[in-house]
Amino acid sequence: MANPILAAAQFHNEEAAYKFVEARVWPRGPVCPHCGGVERNTALKGSSTRIGVYKCYDCRKPFTVKVGTIFEKSHIPLRLWLQAIFLIASSKKGISSNQLHRTLGVTLKSAWFMSHRIREAMDGTPSGKLGGPGKIVEVDETYFGNKAGVKKARVGGAGMKDKRAIVSLVERKGGVRSYHVPNVDHTNLKQILFTQIDARTHLMTDEATRYWKLGKEFAQHSSVNHSKKEYARGDVTTNTVEGYFSILKRGLIGTYHHVSEHHLQRYVNEFDFRYNNRQVRAKTIGGKNKWEMVGPSDTQRAENLLKGISGKRLTYRTTAQHEG
């Protein structure tokens, strides 16, 4: 059964699509992107005028809501952009450019570029740090794909040095922040952990020695020993971050298949965005307090994505230099 949300006017009518975006980008009325004027902007309504065009009578320049957003200079109808945003925001493991191409009826080249622009809107680390007094943040790394120009390690050889590394920080019942790093070493981890995690946090990791010294800078550091098949010891576990990795890897491998290293962080941002735009709620099971992930709805997640479209310019030329 088709999703009834996609029957809404903004997904099929271009004028409704412009009004929908305008209400979110300009909640207090049109703002001229050229001079910032707000009082003398008038919608142009001539028979030959494009939909959504305004004129600022302060600087005398025309503009639309697309200026200064991921939609700028795109000839793809805005209603198709909104469909793409909804599909990407609501797909747990992502949606490939080929699927967008078939669903929206645009060229594969356009679908690929649209998806990258939308991921650009998903980029945005929340303010403040993860964790805090009484809170737990799990940290771990995973690997995806091969580094360009690096010879594949032999079995028992150089470990993961030929792989692309991703470090994720997951606050229990909270958000995630993930970073593609050149190497998982003390220098890179120190920069990420100290800038993104509150020092009053209980840090949880696996047994890797790289975390021993860094862990001393936090209120508490606990670890599980995976090499001895220890995956949980009371509340001490990295299962939350491992669960996040399972979704990330299923998407990267099962949906996208090939991701160039140049674009990897943008794909990681996409999965971070979806994870951070869910909610948790407490529930009692067998007399014990548990928590589970719920909502927000796909519609609200798409609305949240629209909040990030402004100030994000991504040209095809700069993007296509590193296809993937």
Residue 228: the pLDDT is: 92
CB proximity list for 198: less than 8 A, separation 6 or greater: 129, 130, 131, 132, 133, 135
Q: What is the pLDDT of residue 145?
A: 82
Q: CA–CA separation, 64 vs 56, rounded Å?
A: 10
Q: Domain spans of the chain?
A: 136-276
Instruction: State the pLDDT at residue 322.
Output: 52
Give dist(CA 229, CA 302) in Å, integer. 40
Q: Which helix (H) or strand (E) holds 288?
A: strand 288-294
| Residue 109 token pair | 């080249």
Could you tell me which residues come within 8 angstroms of residue 87 by beta carbon, excluding any fewer than 6 positions away?
Answer: 95, 100, 103
What one-character DSSP code corresponds to residue 245?
Answer: H
Whole-number Å distance between alpha carbons of 131 and 177: 12
Determine phi and psi for 222, rounding to 5 degrees.
-125, 155
Those residues with Cβ within 8 angstroms of residue 266's Cβ, 6 or more apart along the chain or in another chain:
116, 119, 120, 123
Give 213-218 contacts, CB < 8 A, sequence gap 24+. Answer: 213/186, 214/186, 214/189, 214/190, 217/193
**pLDDT number for residue 1:** 45
Predicted pLDDT of residue 157: 43
The model's pTM: 0.86
Could you tell me if 296 and 304 are in contact, meaning their C-beta atoms sit under 8 angstroms apart?
yes
Check residue 4 and give its pLDDT: 75
Are the CB atoms for 179 and 269 separated by under 8 Å? Answer: no
Going by C-beta distance under 8 Å and a sequence separation of 6 or more, which residues neighbour residue 63? 32, 33, 34, 53, 54, 55, 56
Of 251, 300, 305, 308, nearest to 279 (Cα)?
300
Q: Give domain 136-276's CATH architecture.
A: 2-Layer Sandwich (3.30)
Other Cβ atoms closer than 10 A to 308: 17
Per-position DSSP letters for 139-154, written without gaps between them:
EEEEEEEE-TT-PPPP
Q: What is the pLDDT along the chain (324 residues), one digit of tens a residue?
A: 456 788 899 999 999 999 999 999 999 999 999 999 999 999 998 888 899 999 999 999 999 999 999 999 999 999 999 999 999 999 989 999 999 999 999 999 999 999 999 999 998 777 899 999 999 999 999 999 877 666 665 544 445 778 899 999 999 999 999 999 999 999 999 999 999 999 999 999 999 999 999 999 999 999 999 999 999 999 999 999 999 999 999 999 999 988 989 899 999 999 999 999 976 455 555 665 555 555 568 899 999 999 999 987 766 555 555 555
d(CA 176, CA 136): 12
Residues 6 or more apart whose Cβ sits within 8 Å of residue 181: 165, 166, 167, 188, 192
Write out the two tokens for 32: 């001229």
DSSP states of 108-120: HHHHHHHHHHHHH
Answer left, alpha or beta for residue 165, where phi above 0 means left and psi between -120 and 50 means alpha: beta
What is the pLDDT at residue 289? 57
